[in-house]
Amino acid sequence: MFDKILIANRGEIAIRIMRACRELGIKTVAVYSEADRDSSHVQFADEAILLGDAAPKESYLNMEKIIRAARASKADAIHPGYGFLSENASFAAATESAALTFIGPSADSIRAMGDKAESKILMKKAGVPTVPGYEGLENYGEFKKAANDIGYPVLVKAAAGGGGKGMRVVNAESELKEAIELAKREALNAFGDERLLIEKYLADAHHIEIQVFGDKHGNLVHLFERECSVQRRHQKIIEESPSPLLTPDLREQMGQAAVNAAKAVDYFNAGTVEFIFDPILSTFYFLEMNTRLQVEHPITELVTGIDLVHWQIRIAAGEKFPFTQSDFHQHGHAIECRIYAEDPASGFLPSTGKLLQFIQPYGPGIRVDSGFALGSDVTHFYDPLLAKLIVHAENRETAIRRMQTALHDFVVHGVVTNIDFLQAVLETDDFKQGKVSTRWVETKFGEWAIPQPELHTLIAAALADVVFVGDKAQPAVSNETDPFNPWKQTGNYRN
């Protein structure tokens, strides 16, 4: 087993990995930027190393600095978490070249699945169903012909990267040229690669993904599905497991397709195969594979009882995965809500500021993964995810009610959040009945506005603000000469 692991990430996922390391008796090294100097993940680690300025390219995206930090700290391995360099084949290869272990799949597997165009071709060869579409298009004429062959609406999207960037839905030929130009520009800025592909856009489809897990000895299983159809800007905000749509037969088919997809690239460690599911025709298509740990991995952990991060580390250390497919079953129902610092009433624009209140819910079946605390600064430099709120219950109806209660008890002041919006989603009949497609949010909540806060909420927010006014000011009794005055001794904290 490793003695020390460097976590090349920040926020809640860095702390999640550090907890797993602590439970396994492994020391941890945090890396951080100037903007994260006082962040929770820095304080939680056994040691921490400054990478550079707040800009990601100077810190969390700087491969050379991260590997240098790992070697300087005498770490044995690097865990990339998700985002940043987690799906960068060059980083995985560079880590291994530096005599460090990359806690994830091989560089070859990442490379094979990191290109959407190439991975689709690979999946077709492996017999995995793919969305009708075309890859390798070079000019507008080819895109126009492909769109007419597929039939509108179509989806133009980046061949590299993910996270909803470089994607445009095109409903008619008159929109195609502009969509291609915008998608290319966004893809180039985000991934340094302007290549696009085009696919049939399934307007009422569901987004269902399958967790896969394998070791370096040829063992590979799936850990069932996660329903991820509640999205904004092609990014997930609510996930659940099991999916309310899948029959046992469909679950088995999708699970096997995911395993086949992973085997096609000799995959090991944690990964997720994403599918688009058409509930009308009851058919599914390969979308992409995320060659890393997912944001929503906790709901899989809760319904299967397995700690995915523990096993990521143990597999990377060379252990065999001692389970077979028959060992796994889904128990109960789990839901995850992503708590973002953003304004749903203004197009989900990010919100920044100091967390004047940050009270997390607790109770049976409630889990909160967060990288923030009271007084933390929410900056514009990184993703505005404040926390992941996860609940588990014996059935879906109870899980929904438990989530509604937990959201009600989650108090955040200082930034605008999506908590009220999440409550509004959970209260709809569509969600309760599992009739939520990937476009549901934009069609159902296009004119949504934040409800008028209750009086006690306004009072709490005002009081929280008062606490932080004059943060560096002296207490009112600062002129007191008594050296034993407790107010003088504790300063602003007590005040």
C-alpha span between 61 and 104 (Å, rounded): 17
Beta strands per DSSP E along 250-307 = 269-278, 283-290
What residues form DSSP beta bridges with 272? Answer: 211, 290
Q: Output the CA torsion sign for 6, 12, 16, 18.
A: positive
Tokens matching residue 458: 């306004």
Tokens matching residue 409: 């008890």
Residue given tokens 């319904």 in the structure block: 303
Beta strands per DSSP E along 137-258 = 154-158, 167-170, 196-200, 206-214, 220-232, 235-241
Residue burial 469-484, b: 16+ Cβ < 10 Å; e: rest: eeeeeebeeeeeeeee
Tokens matching residue 417: 């959040």
In the annotation, is 292 catalytic?
Answer: yes
C-alpha span between 59 and 76 (Å, rounded): 20
Contact criterion met (CB below 8 Å) for 20 and 28: no
- Verify cis geometry, omega within 30 degrees of 0, for the bond prior to 153: yes
Of 168, 292, 314, 402, the active-site residue reads 292
- Identity of the amino acid at 379: T
Q: What are phi and psi of 308, to 5 degrees?
A: -65, -35
Among 363, 348, 467, CA closest to 408: 363
Instruction: Give the orientation angle of helix 89-97 with respect to helix 63-72, to 10 degrees.
Output: 30
Q: What are phi and psi of 187, to 5 degrees?
A: -65, -40
Tokens matching residue 478: 């600062």
CB-based contacts of 402, cutoff 8 Å, min separation 6: 365, 366, 391, 393
Residue given tokens 């800025």 in the structure block: 189
Among 321, 320, 317, CA closest to 2: 317
C-alpha span between 187 and 35 (Å, rounded): 26
Rg (CA), the chain: 24
Tell me the DSSP string of 55-120: SGGGTTT-HHHHHHHHHHTT-SEEE--SSTTTT-HHHHHHHHHTT-EESSS-HHHHHHHHBHHHHH
Q: Which three-class secondary structure state does DSSP give residue 7?
A: strand
Residues designated as active site: 292
